[in-house]
Amino acid sequence: MTELRPRADIVAMDKYHSPQVDVAVRLNTNESPLPVPPEWIQDVSDAVKNVAWNRYPDRSARPLREAIANRHGVSPNNVFVANGSNEVLQTLLLTYAGAGRTVATFEPTYQLHAHFARISGAKVVSGQRDADFELHESEIRRVLETAQPEVIFLCSPNNPTGRLEPRRNIEVVVANAPGLVIIDEAYAEFSDWSALELVTEHSNVVVTRTFSKTWSLAALRLGYAIASTRIVEELNTVVMPYHLDALKQVAGERALQYVEQMQSRVAGIVQERDRIADRLGQLGIETWPSGANFILFRPISAASTGPETVWQKLLNAGVLVRDCSTWSGLDGCLRVTVGTPVENDLFLKALCWAVGKRE
């Protein structure tokens, strides 16, 4: 019997996975270090008693979409929900990319943008940020004019660099885009501004969000997009029927009743982020401005013992961070998620030891 192999372009793809290691301090996947309110757990427990488990869930997820819409001041018809922002992104690309179409990214950025594009069968073209990970208007115009992409990605704040994309850059993309503009705002609550106001009924702008980071619900796998009614209708045509289960819908809707608690958690994480950045600066370690819940840093020159050595030393000390040093444009870089104050202290102590600095 002949073994059936995947498509050649799938076989050639790099795998995208974060290491899952049992350590005392796990700061590699940008999760919230803080738990959800106990009141939310009780609310969800009470609500699931009324779920008709023998019936399919509400295909439209109307109460959840209404709650999201109220949060952002839009219509429920402008909200598409799915299993994490990754399914949102995948559905967008299945709808608007595919064979014979082009998707543009600006590297370095979130690796799954290009990964999902290639899975859809699309061609991926990449513009480049400068050595300081800033994106110049001339590079935006070059990519859009030469590639004429059907889909353009911007990640703001950008993962893994942390930089918040300047409003001017996004406006240039929107004004000159020949196709759909997807602005991935997974970390928006940690930053100073959002592109949501650029979404209109007549625009090709889509803003995606997730419950994983700011809402402390990474285990729930829930995300959404804000877009024109037309785009949302097309996404609902493509996505699998009944893709969002009843428990997820209830849990997400209830989470949105705890905005103040979420904002308090975010404020605490931002304060810790700034404290870590200050300490890294005191240690002479290169960092970049972050509008997210993580910091990209270069602990050691790529010409010396190498970032993988620092990563391993941190792991040996019970601290897991993300090794980004093999990613395009990120030579020598590691990324640390902001944890609790105790976790951050343990990270800084371990880092001092790993790079041979005094505490």
Total residues found in the chain within this entry? 359
In this predicted model, what pLDDT tens digit does every residue of 21-64 receive, in sequence order?
Answer: 789 999 999 999 999 999 999 999 999 999 999 999 999 999 99
Contact status, residue 221 vs residue 83, Cβ threshold 8 Å = yes
pLDDT at position 13 is 57
pLDDT at position 258 is 98
- Phi, psi for 199 (deg, rounded to 5): -80, 120
Q: Which domains does the chain have, with CATH numbers?
A: 8-30+260-355 (3.90.1150.10), 51-257 (3.40.640.10)
Summarize the chain as % helix, strand, coil (round to 5).
40, 15, 45
Written as six digits, the tokens of 243 are 């893709």
Q: What is the mean pLDDT of residues 65-92?
A: 98
In this predicted model, what pLDDT tens digit does every residue of 92-115 receive, in sequence order?
Answer: 999 999 999 999 999 999 999 999
Q: What is the value of pTM for the model shown?
A: 0.93
- Dihedral sign for Cα atoms in the order 108, 109, 114, 115: positive
Which one has a higher pLDDT value, 15 or 58? 58
Which one has a higher pLDDT value, 308 or 126? 126
The separation between CA 182 and the C-alpha centre of its own chain, rounded to angstroms, equals 12
Burial of 139 (0-12, 13-18, 19+ CB in 10 A): middle
Kindly give the pairing relationship between strand 151-155 and strand 102-107.
parallel
- Phi, psi for 324 (deg, rounded to 5): -105, 10
pLDDT at position 304 is 52
pLDDT at position 12 is 54
Give the chain's end-to-end CA distance (angstroms, integer). 63
Which of 91-95, 194-198, 299-303 is the least confident region? 299-303
pLDDT at position 328 is 86
